[in-house]
Amino acid sequence: MIATLQNGRHGPLALGALLLVAWPLVFSTPYDLRVFTLAGIYALLVLGYQFVFGHAGALALTQGAFFGLGAYVTGILGARYGQGFLVTFPLSIALPVLLAAVVAAPVLRLETHYFALATLGIAQVLLLVCLLAEPLTGGANGIPGVPGVEILGLSLPRGWPLLLFVWAWVIAGAFVAQRITGGLYGKAFQLMRASATAAQCVGIDIARLRLRTFLFSAAYAGAAGALFVHTLRVVSPEALEFHVMVAVLAMTVVGGRTRIAGAIVGAVLLVHLPEWFRFLESYYLIAYGVALLAMIVLAPDGLVGELERRWPQAPETLPTAEPLPPRSKLIPREPLLAVSDLRKRFGGVRAVDGVSLALKRGEIVGLIGPNGSGKTTLINVITGLLQAENGAVRFAGEPLGGLRPDTIARRGLARTFQNLDLVDELTAIDNVAVARAAFEGAGLRQALLAVGRDPTLERARRQARFLLERIGLGEEMGRPCGDLPHGTRRRVEIARALALQPSLLLLDEPAAGLSESEQADLARRVEILRDDGITMLIVEHNMPFLMPLADRLICLNVGRVIANGTPEEVQADPRVIEAYLGRRGEQA
């Protein structure tokens, strides 16, 4: 939050949050103080939930369970074993994190609905186990008489001291969250959420990133659970019940899924909402449901997202360009790429059916073929997004079989996508900068230890500017990609691939949707890249674009290579003409 205030981007939001902080100063009955303390606890819980739900985009329904587990650890150790805060608090964080780590391996790779259900199942098991383990947990009655916060013999009284203590943790939590998500590492989250595939293909290990968000969520939840018990002084199965999860979800949706201010606004608002709706008496929870529904429909990005839309942040000043550091060259072994007898089928369809081909260093090779001939499948197998049933791919002599897409990308094999996998909300600069994450050492330690703005992000942005200028972008590189015209977005995507400093670049229909002049410009830049020593494989239907550019053409038809030679040879090949024009192409 400190950083948020410093860079002033969220000025109005931070001010709003401060106004909310000032709220209890006006009406400080003990009850109000308690409600506001609870709001702080929920804010911490929501801050954690934003990692997995907001940043990773996974609907985890375990946040309530981690909260409850943290609560029980403090409750049991505090009430039954007389342990103080310095023992109970770290353990309240550690146990949920441990549980998260244990369940993560099988659960994190599940798809949306399955993931939601699996996490819900885990939460329910935890609740039932807690009810069963009566000797330890007190069963349905829970454990009364949990002590307050006691540090080195000093005990923290309720009221103002506890409130400030809790909110100090909220500020600390917000600070850490801001450090983690505000830098280059955080941009990687954004790309992963927008397109896991694109994230992998710029060298980001998404499995590890997902796991980390899950562990962070658990840590925050455990801390919130511990503070919750110190506030209530009892722990009961209510802390584990599903309505806690629903409340967290509602707060995150209402406040905003990724914004720190959103976590605080959402928690403070929804904790106080029942108080404000009290005049509705027994109907107030209905109003709560209606408010939640209205938010989802009317403001999908939450209140903070809505505010940001109303008052968009001023465009950031562009960084100065900085060339990329030289990359250790691959051992020059020919051919650069060798594909042998590759096969991939989907159900009964042989999409790639025994393809062999080789690319020499410095070549531009066009890959052509009618619809459904297997071109994109071939590229997906080469880049590791699909696993082949048979055959091998060697890149600079090294076999790529079985490697993850992010590993392949980091070795210098970059690609672009037919349908432009960019993050619309990010600027062109940031879309390119994120591809430097794997090289600039963006990670937890860097994010947490840095002073001021994340230096890895700053450097990556300078490098991004350098790359974007090379591909012909000007001032518009500071605008969100969603606002840029199609032709510019194409170039941003190519710049993003170049950020990997690739030896081999696979372009999937780069000229699609470009005007004639844009095509000419693109062709010129492709030639410059070749002169810089980048080998390219270009999938393209647009012959006028491809023919003058390519040293060689390879034509695929129903998953097989049917021609391989100079553009003139391939163009005149009767089999190619038949593939394109039909059987009677000769006579037509």
Partner 1 sequence: MTALLDIADLVVGHGPVTALHGVSLRVNSGEIVALVGANGAGKSTLLRALMGLVPVTSGEIMFDGTPLTGPAWSRARRGLGYCPEGRRVFPGLTVEENLNVAAAPGASLDTVYKLFPPLANRRDAPGWQLSGGEQQMLAVGRALMARPKLLLLDEPSLGLSPLLTDELLARLRAIASDGVAVLLAEQNAAAALEVADRAYVLHLGHTVDDGSAADPGLRQRVREGILSAKGLTSG
Partner 2 sequence: MLQVLVNSLALGSAYALLALGFVLILNAVNAVNFAQGDLVMAGGFVAVAFGMLLPVPGIVLLPLVLVVMALIGRALAAVAYFPLKSRPPVSVFISTIAVGIILQNLANALFGAEPRAAPPLFAGGLVELGGIVVSRQALAIIAVAAVMIAAQYVLFQRTALGRRLRATAQDREMAEALGIRVNHVIAATFAIAAAYAGAAGLLLANTFFVTPTDGGNYILKAYIAVVIGGWGSVPGAVVGALLIALFEVMLPSLPLIVPGLAGLPGASWLFSQTIATILLYLMLLVVLVVRPQGLFGEAVQRRA
Distance CA 537, CA 548 (A): 14
Asked whether position 588 contacts partner 1 by CB under 8 A, the answer is yes
Q: Roughly what angle, to the nearest 10 degrees, separates helices 260-276 and 284-298?
A: 150
Closest separation in Å from C-beta 419 to partner 1? 5
Which residue lies nearer to partner 1 by CB, 171 or 547? 547
290, 444, 528, 581: which one binds partner 2 (CB under 8 A)? 290
Q: Which does 249 bind (CB under 5 to 8 A by kind): partner 2, partner 1, none?
A: partner 2
Q: Tokens 């100065």 map to which residue?
A: 320
- Asked if 428 touches partner 2 (CB under 8 A), the answer is no
Among partner 2, partner 1, none, what binds residue 482 when CB lies within 5 to 8 Å by partner kind? none
Give the nearest distance from C-beta 117 to partner 2 in angstroms.
Answer: 5
According to CB under 8 A, which one of 317, 419, 475, 531 is a site residue for partner 1? Answer: 419
Q: Please state, in angstroms and rounded to a whole number, the distance separating the CA atoms of residues 540 and 530.
A: 17
What one-character-per-residue DSSP string does 377-437 give?
Answer: HHHHHHTTSS--SEEEEEETTEE-TT--HHHHHHTTEEE--TT----TTSBHHHHHHGGGT
User: DSSP characters for 278-316?
Assistant: GGGGGGHHHHHHHHHHHHHHH-TTHHHHHHHHHSPPPPP
Cβ nearer to partner 1, comparing 339 with 537: 537
Q: Which amino acid is at 118?
A: A
Distance CA 72, CA 96 (A): 11
String marking each residue 316-355 x if it binds partner 1 according to CB under 8 A:
----------------------------------------
Q: If binding is defined by CB under 8 A, does position 482 make contact with partner 1?
A: no
**DSSP H helical ranges for 50-84:** 63-75, 81
Cβ-based nearer residue to partner 1, 122 or 570 = 570
Residues touching partner 2: how many (CB under 8 A)? 37
Cβ nearer to partner 2, comparing 300 with 399: 300
Query: What's the farthest any 2 CA atoms get from each other in the chain?
Result: 97
Among residues 421 and 458, whose Cβ is nearest to partner 1?
421
Provide, rounded to whole angstroms, the least separation between the CB of residue 213 and partner 2: 16
Question: 308 burial class (0-12, 13-18, 19+ CB within 10 angstroms)?
Answer: buried
Q: Does the protein bind partner 1 through residue 543 (CB under 8 A)? A: yes
Beta strands in 100-155 (DSSP E): 150-151, 154-155
Does 278 sit near partner 2 (CB under 8 A)?
no
Say how far apart CA 191 and CA 285 lie, in whole Å: 37
Dihedral sign from CA coordinates of 462, 479, 263, 21: positive
CB of 205 to partner 2, least distance (A): 21
Cβ(143)–Cβ(79) under 8 Å? yes
DSSP structural state of residue 507: E
Shortest reach from residue 549's CB to partner 1, in Å: 10
Query: Is 136 one of the binding residues for partner 2 (CB under 8 A)?
Result: no
Q: Based on the shown chain and the rule CB under 8 A, indicate whether residue 286 belongs to the binding site for partner 2.
A: yes
CA dist., res. 123 & res. 242, Å (int): 8
Going from the C-alpha of 290 to that of each of 243, 254, 298, the distances in angstroms are: 16, 12, 12
Tell me: does residue 140 bind partner 2 (CB under 8 A). no
Q: Out of partner 1, partner 2, none, which partner does residue 22 contact, by CB within 5 to 8 A per kind?
A: none
Member of 18, 101, 293, 528 binding partner 2 (CB under 8 A): 293
- CB of 264 or CB of 576, closer to partner 1: 576
* Touching partner 1, residues 485-514 (CB under 8 A): 485-486, 509, 512-513
| Contact letters for partner 2, residues 105-124 (x by CB under 8 A) | -xx--xxxxx-xxx-xxx-x
DSSP string, 326-366: P-PPPP--S-SEEEEEEEEEETTEEEEEEEEEEE-TT-EEE
Nearest to partner 1 of 94, 512 (CB atom): 512
- Backbone phi and psi for residue 362, each to the nearest 5 degrees, phi listed first: 85, 0
372 binds partner 1 (CB under 8 A): yes
Closer Cβ to partner 1, 238 or 573, answer by number: 573
Nearer to partner 2, 301 or 518 (CB): 301
End-to-end CA distance of the chain: 71
Using the contact rule CB under 8 A, the part of the chain among 92-100, 119-127, 181-189, 364-372 near partner 1 is 364-372
C-alpha to C-alpha distances, 135 to 96, 362, 384, nearest whole angstrom: 21, 72, 52
x-or-dash pattern for partner 2, window 40-69, by CB under 8 A? Answer: -------------------x----------
Q: Interface residues with partner 1 (CB under 8 A)?
A: 370-372, 419, 485-486, 509, 512-513, 541-544, 547-548, 567, 571, 576-577, 580-585, 587-588
**For binding to partner 2 (CB under 8 A), which residues are involved?**
59, 106-107, 110-114, 116-118, 120-122, 124-125, 128-129, 131-132, 242, 246, 249-250, 253, 282-283, 285-286, 288-290, 292-293, 296-297, 300
